[in-house]
Amino acid sequence: MSEPTTEALLHTPLHALHLKLGAKMVPFAGYAMPVNYPTGVIAEHKHCRAAAALFDVSHMGQLRLAGAEAAAALETLVPVDIVDLAPSRQRYALFTNASGGLLDDLMVTRPTAADAARGFGDLFLVVNAACKAADTRHLVTHIGHRCQVVPMPERALLALQGPKAVAALSRLNPGVAQLVFMTGGVFELAGLACFVTRSGYTGEDGFEISVPADGAVALAEALLREPEVAPAGLGARDTLRLEAGLCLYGHDIGEKTTPVEAGLGWAIQKVRRAGGARAGGYPGAAAIDKQLATGAPCKRAGLVGLERVPVREGAPIFDAHNRRLGAVTSGTLAPTVNQPIAMAYLTQDHAQAHHEVYAEVRGKRVPMRVSPMPFTPHRYHRG
């Protein structure tokens, strides 16, 4: 089989650096992206858990919403409390459709007035790479008359993740250590005005750093000079987020899954639920409120393999009586927990902890046990 072509793929501002570092490049969401570097996925994964890993996530979409009505306008598209989001705070949000399904998941930060004046808007959004064009159209179509929707392709995005990320980043600017999980602001790093949030997609402490594209290489090289930091690619990012029990859009969540089915009801604050001061008013509110009240027919469940057989996405799941229950949405042999792990949607009666189900792998039934998530504990810095 020939290597995947990178012709006609978009390049992030760090493309040349990836090649210099020996990355294996693969197509992802229309971009040529590093899947791993010469040390390999498992070493990169373990380095993130032990020290600090640097990921290029510049393929993600960055947008700002500007205008006095930005927060109220965004609330008409998400089941999340945006109006009461305090300056410097960040929140996980969900774009929903008319049936309560998920168009995308995203991160929303409210910059301070000073940071807004520096070009980061009244709200700063990060959306998924494969959805960013559709998300931008969605925002412009539905709330473009109430606030400015401004894509920010002139900025790159880096993720520095791991227990030693704060030590490394603090050498560039000690002020970042004052951030706690899900807060952010503008910090100067390597002479560049960067919007830094203490957040990430690995379950570890860490930061996501929006940096001017023309300075991204300089910042990445400055971080890689720190003794704790090593580069990591999409392969490790996927195994890390799966161990952390975090959803990947288009795999574990999508237009046919609701927040309640996905186990994301925690992201819907009381004020936006039935009976709350600003309940409803977003697409699919009736369907989602009904499931919040009475439960969903199925739910996303974690699975741990009882044999050392990796169970991959798409593997069908059966019960002990040979009835098909669903299919695996994500799966891997997890480096930290040293077991096969997976996620799947199961009916409520089969999604109970310690319930045993069977995945079909190459014609063989492999036993798996329903397990609470995350599979490895989160280590966010909450202050």
> Residue 59 is encoded by which pair of tokens?
């393929």
Q: How many CA atoms lie within 13 A of 56 on its CB side?
A: 33
Residues whose CB falls within 8 Å of the CB of residue 42, separated by 6 or more in sequence, listed in order: 335
> Architecture of 297-373 per CATH?
Beta Barrel (2.40)
- Parts of the chain with a pLDDT under 70: 1-7
| Sheet with 229-231: strands ordered across | 184-189, 192-197, 206-212, 155-161, 52-56, 229-231
User: How long a stretch of residues is the chain?
Assistant: 383
Q: Identical fold at 1-295 and 297-373?
A: no
For residue 383, the model assigns a pLDDT of 86
Predicted TM-score (pTM) of this structure: 0.96
Query: Which residue reads 């290489």 in tokens?
Result: 217
Q: Where are the domains of the chain?
A: 1-295, 297-373
Q: What is the CATH number of domain 1-295?
A: 3.30.1360.120
